[in-house]
Structure 1
Amino acid sequence: MGKAMDDNVEKYQSDKKRRSPKMCGSNYPLSIAFIVVNEFCERFSYYGMKAVLTLYFIHYLHWNKNLSTAVYHAFSGLCYFTPIIGAIIADSWLGKFKTIIYLSIVYVIGHVIKSVGAIPDVGDSTVHISLSMLGLILIAFGTGGIKPCVAAFGGDQFEEEHTEERRKFFSIFYMSINAGSVLSTIITPILRGDVQCFGGDCYALAFGVPAALMVIATVVFIAGSGLYNKGPPEGNVLLNVCKCIGCAISNRWRRPKNSPKRDHWLDWAEEKYSKRLIQEIKMVLRVLVLYIPLPMFWALFDQQGSRWTLQATRMNMDFGGSFVIKPDQMQMLNALLILVFIPIFDMGVYPLIGLCRIKLTPLRKMAAGMILAALAFCAATVVEVNVIKTVVETPPAKQCLLQVLNLANGDVSVHIPGHNIFPDPIKSYDEPSGYTNLPLDDAHQILTVDITHNGANHQCHLNFTQHNVYSLILDNRITCKLVEDSYTKSEAGEAFVRFINTRTDSMNISVGSKQFHVPGNYGTSLSLGVERGVYKNVECISLDTLMIYKTDLGLFDFGAYYTVILRGDPNSLTHNKMVDVQPNNIHIAWQIPQYVLITAGEVMFSITGLEFSYSQAPASMKSVLQAGWLLTVAFGNVIVLIVAEGAGMEQWTEFLLFAALLVAVSIIFSIMSYFYTYADPDQLNKLFNEEANEGNMDDLKKEKDRMHMKDLPKGTKM
């Protein structure tokens, strides 16, 4: 087996020297062009699908916010657990090239299944959920499996002496990742919202285009097959590390009572494993211990696609009438800002800090990145506190909400015995009184309502239910009409509208793509969501006289609820527009500071963390640390999953909790960093040279003993 592996390695080295076609006038292999294009298309497909995923769960599968957030982060976590499987397959069995191809095919199948699951005519809701979950699982195995292979495979295309070209390749490779992310998070939300199919948002297309990009990525990668340097499987370092650790634990557990002490518990594996491997594992474990607090950073960072997107849906997304951004497009800010921030930090921030004689070590940079991420969530908390001011909260137990719409001629006073909730008179055809909490003695209660209008007293008895929200509509005859209201803001940014018709004739009204039927004599239509916009020349048809009226309803703004009162005689139509729930009045641009802070934190934490990990690990163990780093991302998503399902907090409180937790974790990490001693890169080489010399001396001694035994007379005892 060892000889066969050596033969494969020799063949690979021979092939690498024999064919490495270069781009014109450079030392760059032509094969890297295929790899960069492949990575761009793959990242487009991944981030494009992920950008609309949370809204797909809420609006298409009709899940609540917490379940949608939990599944989103479960998927994200799985994408960072599966790289270990991909690394094992590539190192132990197929090699990087075949692993990328086979798992890309799995990836494509997952995308196709996900797209089919978003077609409304394909089965019932159970079928849609099943197809969606199967598609996400296959995508997670595909993207996670190829993640540890593609960049390393690109590095394999360079000859050993072309280190500068290899370094620039990784910069180009990283740029292609962010370019794919920026474009996809702009384009797929447009495909979702601006293209209508099957009578609504086109999620099938929003998932289908990323599927097509993944097909292109696979075809492009295969097209370059004849140009690649394809290394054989190198053996599973991660498996050897686990075996060595297992051997050390086993030997230490079974050691005889009188056995000598060892300097380190890993030294108990010396009987079976080399000093070199044991020393390498010691170095890796020192870094992995520092990884323990890191998942909390990723718990905050990955909420850009879940909680922050949901926050954006309740904000004003109009930029001066020139364009309207979609809530899921805000995620592109992170990828865009990181392209700007990397050179700014490298050429501006870090040198400036150095001029102030502040020693900014890698671990200090990472701790600062954590603080910046915590500040980002403090900013998100401030935004959330202001966002919820326009939200009507669900009333608590044994309470309901009540507002009064006065459609009578003249002011009215409303009094409920025992409850002074409407102390001031309510003006005729003015804005509603506003929702007010009404206490109830039980889950259901009939209350007496006293009404004074033009000096006359009226009384009605109404049945209220806890947790519900009501409008009490009073007509000119002071007839009480209690209507149960919708009040939850649209996650798609729609405005909700209902009509009350004071005329005697019934009417049909077209607002955009929605049709409203309004009975006469104070009849009320259903409350329907319409796309945000200015509605002029709205067509209203009288079903009794067949007359067509045109009216200007004005702006229906993001997230608002409107009641439109229709009035007039048979020859004319007028209206009063009332606001039941205020529109989203916090502009989405207020999210920019939190994106700036989280991206600055990512530059200091993520990029620095990768550099630190590689500098502190021996060459043969870099893949082990890469797997450990990716696992911190996975566990960060697990933290969000637990909090989203178990905490049950208000959103602003949850943001503040995450910020506080990260500050606490950053303090712990800073203490751990203080006691960390940076590894000397020459330390391990010195140890290896000593080990090699010891090995040579042992060989000489064995040879000398063998020659000495040969010269002794037969039968001599030693």
Structure 2
Amino acid sequence: MEASDIEAQKVDQLLNMKKIGDKYPVSVIILLTLKWLDSISFSGMYGLLVLYFISQFLYFSDHENYLQHMFRGSVVILAFIGATITDSWLGNFNAFIGCNLFLLLGHVFAMTEEILPENIARSRFLVTSGLLSVAFAAGIKMPCTLCLAGDQFPVHQVKEKNKAFSFLYMSTVFGNFFADISLPSFMEKSCFYKDCYLIYLSASAGIVTFNLVTFIFSKKLFFIEVPQESNLLKIFKCIWSAIKNQLRHCSWKTPRRNHWLDWASEKFSENHISEVKLFFGMLLFLSPFPLFWALVEKQEIEWILQAKKMNRFVAGRSVKNEDVQMIFSAILLINLILMELVFIPLAEWLGINFSLIKKTMIGMILIYFSSLISFLLELQIEKSPNILPGSRESFLRIINVADISFNVTFLKNNSSMSYSRVSRVFQNADDYHRIYLDSDQQYFQIKLHTNTLVKEEEILLEKRTTYAMILHGNRKFYSIILIKETTTKPETGVAYVRIINILNKDVYIILPVDTYNLPKYNGTSSELSIKISRNVNLLCMIEKKENVIKLGLLEFGASYLVFLTEDTPTLKTWKTRQNEIKSLCIGWQLPQILIMGIGKYLLIVSCMEFFYYKAPEGMKVTMQALWTSTLFSSSLILYFVNYISFLPEWIEDFLLSNILLAVVISFFVISYYYQETVLKLWRVPFS
């Protein structure tokens, strides 16, 4: 069958597909629904697998970072491999089914770990295998979904196709938002029961199974593009032919050619060489994005840090960390809905229409302005005074360094409940609770609940004081340590560190000026307060055995609590930071979040469309995978940025804004070069 006949048959199939309102194929509506469910399942599954390492296997925050980098690095590598196989042999439809199978396999690994008897080595192997399975699914599923959705429209339905890309992005954001709501509330109710993980994993696996079955049974509603021979292999052959031919004719007598790829003209057509040139142009177009997304991710982390320092007491209640993340997601979702339903139709009505590259540039500029606003806000935060407890108030946060999570109930006068919440093991406790006192001093009753234990203790709180309530112990004995936290900021250039010994052994800390003894835990706090700078390791002795206390990176002007948690076979520590509570309201973060949301929408959706339309024939999934991989590879860059970062936060924000501006300018230059290349190759206007 000739190429023209194949194209005509394709057009007939697309025109005869079942549609809603003669515009949107039913297959696209199915993809949007499945993408929403998939985002819920993936977000919950990934968060839960990391939570396994933190709570079940006693991995601490540094190990959590390593897990995330391992996961994201696996996504980048596996995405490229999977995309090449998809374009060459599998096709989008079959690859989508394979991704669901790998995602289901990740659930099976985690569920198997929960069902089998406890074995740390086997559990770590199963959960790591689950993360890798999820990584493979994450790396290739989004590119397959985008390309499969684009293939369902005829050539003339450009507007409808662009809408489909926008709605796919909105489905992802809405799914993540739903996961942000459901997972914390679910874990709050069930985390202290044995089967809480199994219940959530079963529900998530049910979603994946439903997606898989629905997709397979709706196959007749989809237009399925037949995969071609690997175009990537042809590109490599063309490059190798050009290099080999150029080396063979390296004499100065041989006439030069306009481009080094033109040396492959003896074996490849001019059209194919032009495609290879455009492929390199698209790779150059992609080059700024890993660093760009690393800076954006850094800024989003700064939002959370800013929120922790700002006034989060609203209507007498403190907005918790998980609530802050949920609020950010909700604002982003509302922003996207307004963009799609109000601003974009208004722009079309006014006749405003930009090319894809111009939309990408506008998105980058808006993201830069968001970072600039974040820097200005950080300056205001530094200037604003701290909030201190009132005349009949205390501030209190819960830190759990025991070997099990607790449901903590706070009672006043044995009857009036102040609050009740779950405290997880080694979770960074940044939320301060405002406790109201009836007098200058007052006793409160604390109840610690687990599935097998109820323990009651009493604590005394004083007015105008900030406390940290430490839950400590093991299955033999649990207790509460109450310590007063500092309310003064250390001098510029140093950090304030309090080392707390919760071991059943004496610890001798050796400093340049003296040796300090931290007695073993005997029901009261045993601590040492020092002021040090940057990244410092301390030498200590435990039962005549020399150990090193690794404090990690310490930020200037910050206060930390460092717990000595375990000494066999090596000394283990856990560090948590004490956050200041500034008077500036958290609502001032709204402008930068709104601008960032609009910028990311324009940038991501425009790039989705760009890499679908402009990718060389037979390489649509590969180019989409390269694009989506930049979102994950940014984390690897961010790791090194965080590792060498030791400046005050307002200076970091200033540098972040300037580096981001440099990246935006470099992208403008690359985009101009790319458009000139296209004009030169095809001699048609680029849009």
TM-score norm. by structure 1 comes to 0.61
The one-letter amino acid paired with 1:102 is G
Contact 1:115/1:208 (<8 A) preserved: yes
Task: Tell me if 1:371 matches 2:368.
Answer: yes
- Aligned-residue offset at 1:515: 3.4
Contact 2:231/2:619 (<8 A) preserved: yes
- Aligned-residue offset at 1:248: 1.7
Aligned mates of 1:172, 1:659 — CA distance in 2: 30
The one-letter amino acid paired with 2:429 is E
Correspondences of 1:171-320 after superposition (within 5 Å): 171-198=166-193, 208-257=202-251, 258-303=253-298, 308-309=303-304, 319-320=314-315
Root-mean-square deviation (Å): 5.0
Match of 1:100 among 96, 102, 124: 96
- Aligned-residue offset at 1:584: 4.6
Q: Return closer, same or farther for 1:233/1:211 CA change in 2, 3 Å cut-off.
A: same
Aligned mates of 2:34, 2:132 — CA distance in 1: 21
Q: 2:521 matched to which residue of 1? A: none
Q: 1:415 matched to which residue of 2? A: none
Q: Return closer, same or farther for 1:242/1:519 CA change in 2, 3 Å cut-off.
A: closer
Aligned mates of 1:654, 1:67 — CA distance in 2: 24
Contact 1:116/1:204 (<8 A) preserved: no
Q: Return closer, same or farther for 1:67/1:60 CA change in 2, 3 Å cut-off.
A: same
Q: 1:705 matched to which residue of 2? A: none
Aligned mates of 1:376, 1:53 — CA distance in 2: 35
- Aligned-residue offset at 1:275: 0.6
Deviates more, 1:511-520 or 1:160-169: 511-520
Q: 1:26 matched to which residue of 2? A: 22
Match of 1:39 among 35, 39, 44: 35
- Aligned-residue offset at 1:583: 7.6
Q: 1:452 matched to which residue of 2? A: none
Which digits, 9 at most, give the CA deviation of each residue in 1:404-424, with x for residues without a partner? xxxxxxxxxxxxxxxxxxxxx
Which digits, 9 at most, give the CA deviation of each residue in 1:393-413, with x for residues without a partner? xxxxxxxxxxxxxxxxxxxxx
- Aligned-residue offset at 1:16: 6.6
Q: Return closer, same or farther for 1:84/1:250 CA change in 2, 3 Å cut-off.
A: same
Aligned mates of 2:301, 2:117 — CA distance in 1: 27
Aligned mates of 1:57, 1:384 — CA distance in 2: 35
Q: Return closer, same or farther for 1:15/1:282 CA change in 2, 3 Å cut-off.
A: closer
The one-letter amino acid paired with 2:228 is E
- Aligned-residue offset at 1:371: 1.5
Aligned mates of 1:387, 1:107 — CA distance in 2: 47
- Aligned-residue offset at 1:298: 0.8
Contact 1:377/1:656 (<8 A) preserved: no
Contact 1:110/1:136 (<8 A) preserved: yes
Aligned mates of 1:130, 1:109 — CA distance in 2: 14
Aligned mates of 1:388, 1:212 — CA distance in 2: 50
The one-letter amino acid paired with 1:93 is W
Aligned mates of 2:360, 2:151 — CA distance in 1: 30
- Aligned-residue offset at 1:662: 1.5
Task: Tell me if 1:491 matches 2:485.
Answer: no
Aligned mates of 1:13, 1:653 — CA distance in 2: 61
Q: 1:592 matched to which residue of 2? A: 590
Task: Tell me if 1:152 matches 2:147.
Answer: yes
Task: Tell me if 1:602 matches 2:597.
Answer: no
Correspondences of 1:524-543 after superposition (within 5 Å): 528-529=469-470
Q: Return closer, same or farther for 1:159/1:661 CA change in 2, 3 Å cut-off.
A: closer
- Aligned-residue offset at 1:39: 1.5
Contact 1:107/1:142 (<8 A) preserved: yes
Report the number of matched residues.
527
Q: 2:565 matched to which residue of 1? A: none
- Aligned-residue offset at 1:267: 0.5
Q: Return closer, same or farther for 1:389/1:294 CA change in 2, 3 Å cut-off.
A: farther
Contact 1:106/1:138 (<8 A) preserved: yes
Correspondences of 1:502-651 after superposition (within 5 Å): 509-511=445-447, 513=449, 515-517=455-457, 528-529=469-470, 584=581, 588-612=586-610, 622-623=620-621, 625-647=623-645
Q: Return closer, same or farther for 1:195/1:204 CA change in 2, 3 Å cut-off.
A: same
Contact 1:280/1:618 (<8 A) preserved: yes
The one-letter amino acid paired with 1:244 is C
Deviates more, 1:676-685 or 1:234-243: 676-685
Runs (5+) with no aligned partner, structure 2: 395-425, 436-442, 461-466, 472-481, 486-497, 499-560, 562-577
Local SS of the residue matching 1:262:
coil
In our comparison, the structure showing a higher alpha carbon Rg is: 1
Correspondences of 1:321-336 after superposition (within 5 Å): 324=319, 326=322, 327-332=324-329, 333-336=331-334
Aligned mates of 1:383, 1:74 — CA distance in 2: 37
Contact 1:41/1:216 (<8 A) preserved: no
Q: 1:484 matched to which residue of 2? A: none
Aligned mates of 1:176, 1:612 — CA distance in 2: 20
Local SS of the residue matching 1:600:
helix
Aligned mates of 1:631, 1:296 — CA distance in 2: 12
Local SS of the residue matching 1:510:
strand
Correspondences of 1:442-461 after superposition (within 5 Å): none
- Aligned-residue offset at 1:363: 6.0
Q: Return closer, same or farther for 1:685/1:615 CA change in 2, 3 Å cut-off.
A: farther
The one-letter amino acid paired with 1:82 is L
Aligned mates of 1:101, 1:662 — CA distance in 2: 38
Q: 2:489 matched to which residue of 1? A: none
Runs (5+) with no aligned partner, structure 1: 392-428, 433-487, 498-506, 521-525, 531-552, 562-579, 688-718
Q: Return closer, same or farther for 1:85/1:621 CA change in 2, 3 Å cut-off.
A: closer
Aligned mates of 1:384, 1:214 — CA distance in 2: 44
Which digits, 9 at most, give the CA deviation of each residue in 1:278-306, with x for residues without a partner? 11222332343233222222113335776
Aligned mates of 2:284, 2:431 — CA distance in 1: 45
Contact 1:280/1:621 (<8 A) preserved: no
Aligned mates of 2:217, 2:190 — CA distance in 1: 33
Contact 2:299/2:371 (<8 A) preserved: no
The one-letter amino acid paired with 1:640 is L
Q: Return closer, same or farther for 1:186/1:607 CA change in 2, 3 Å cut-off.
A: same
Q: Return closer, same or farther for 1:612/1:171 CA change in 2, 3 Å cut-off.
A: closer
Aligned mates of 1:46, 1:210 — CA distance in 2: 8
Which digits, 9 at most, give the CA deviation of each residue in 1:86-133, with x for residues without a partner? 32222222222221112211111113434665x598635555543332
TM-score norm. by structure 2 comes to 0.63
Local SS of the residue matching 1:197:
coil
Contact 1:20/1:229 (<8 A) preserved: no
Which digits, 9 at most, give the CA deviation of each residue in 1:480-520, with x for residues without a partner? xxxxxxxx9943636699xxxxxxxxx99434647355799
Local SS of the residue matching 2:295:
helix
- Aligned-residue offset at 1:181: 2.5
Contact 2:364/2:664 (<8 A) preserved: yes
Aligned mates of 2:72, 2:645 — CA distance in 1: 20
Match of 1:84 among 64, 80, 83: 80
Aligned mates of 2:616, 2:609 — CA distance in 1: 13
Aligned mates of 1:334, 1:654 — CA distance in 2: 25
Local SS of the residue matching 2:91:
helix
The one-letter amino acid paired with 2:326 is Q
